[in-house]
A and B are shown apart, each in its own frame.
Chain A
């Protein structure tokens, strides 16, 4: 009896530990999806910010001297190329998001992938036997097996996920590392685009009417324009700071692979990606 209790305790510990690791895999997969979604928003923002800055540049150039279709095209073509590039990058990021989504599905499954392959061969014979027994018109009694199955499964899913992450670990690390560079570049692009837009727009819609000889047409509109223009830069700076979250995701991923991940890191990163999403949304709302 004592031996069986001890065995039960060990089994319980293993199950609990297995579930914890399983939860961490699921949390990391969630983080990956959250990150992909946040980066997608930043990419959209980068495109919008670039187009807006070009529009302001074009109007400023026109204000200095008469322009031609060629001079318009010269700047507009850059935007067209930028938007095409961003589209490509978004597809790639969505791809990574899909990968993490599948990881999450696998982590959340109640059945083992590897055992699935092992058991596949027995499936038909079991089904045949079931059909034969069913013909006897007997009642079903599956409760015990449902429970036993779940216990066997958790460890095996852990194994399947670990196999996948180990196999693709270096690729995902390189991917995250490359996207760190991407986010840093995007932050620089957005910051410059927004600074340019702010500078030119402030001169055009705030300072211009203010120093003009004729009276300001609508004070409320002028106040609203000024507020919008002056608030333009701060989110871009926050966005640059949020790019460090990507570096942390890569480190977290590496720690998970090394079996040293703690829940605090996961929660901290969740917060970082939420900030990144919120900042991108705030900037997008700027007129």
Chain B
């Protein structure tokens, strides 16, 4: 049985035992039996929660392994964007320079 299958079985079981009919029935039983049933219910719910948490922890760990590459990507993108900013400045400066050079050439020729 896989973890997913166990989880499904336990969830189905919890749905049944926490159902209104079952609870109504249990409430009519002796105090000791009710106490035991409530404790079993709590254990069942806690087990489901623990499996769900293990599943999420597993996924979080897999994602954690990808974090390094993603961080490198973010850094590279920041670098690229910085380069873009610098390039915009360079193009602006270059445009200015060439424009000025053309004016200067025009003046010199005139």
Contact = CB atoms under 8 A, between A and B. Distances in A.
Interface in B78-110: 78, 80-81, 83-104, 107
Query: SS class of chain B's interface: helix, strand, loop or mixed?
Result: helix
Interface string A149-192: 10001000100100010011001101100110110011011001
Interface string A114-135: 1111011011001101100110
Contacts of A98: 74
Interface of B: 7, 11, 14-15, 18-20, 23, 26-27, 31, 34-35, 37-39, 41-43, 45-46, 48-50, 52-53, 55-57, 59-60, 62-64, 66-67, 69-74, 76-78, 80-81, 83-104, 107
Contact of B95 (A50, A54, A146): A146
Given A129-B97, A136-B104, A102 B81 contact: yes
A232 interface: no
B80 A123 contact: no
Contact of A145 (B64, B66, B98): B98
A152 B19 CA distance: 68
B84 A203 contact: no
Contact of B77 (A60, A86, A106, A172): A106
A79 B49 contact: yes
A64 B23 contact: yes
Interface residues of A, number: 86
Interface stretch (A88-96, A212-220, A257-265, A273-281): A88-96
17 contacts: A57-B41, A63-B27, A71-B38, A75-B42, A85-B57, A99-B77, A106-B84, A113-B81, A116-B86, A149-B95, A160-B80, A167-B76, A175-B63, A175-B66, A178-B63, A182-B63, A199-B20
Given A65-B35, A178-B63, A203-B23, A113 B84 contact: yes
Q: Which 9 A-B pairs have the closest CB atoms?
A: A145-B95, A116-B83, A78-B49, A116-B87, A141-B99, A102-B77, A142-B95, A113-B80, A133-B100
Nearest to A114: B83
Given A82-B52, A109-B81, A145-B95, A64 B34 contact: yes
A195 B69 CA distance: 38
A133 B49 CA distance: 73
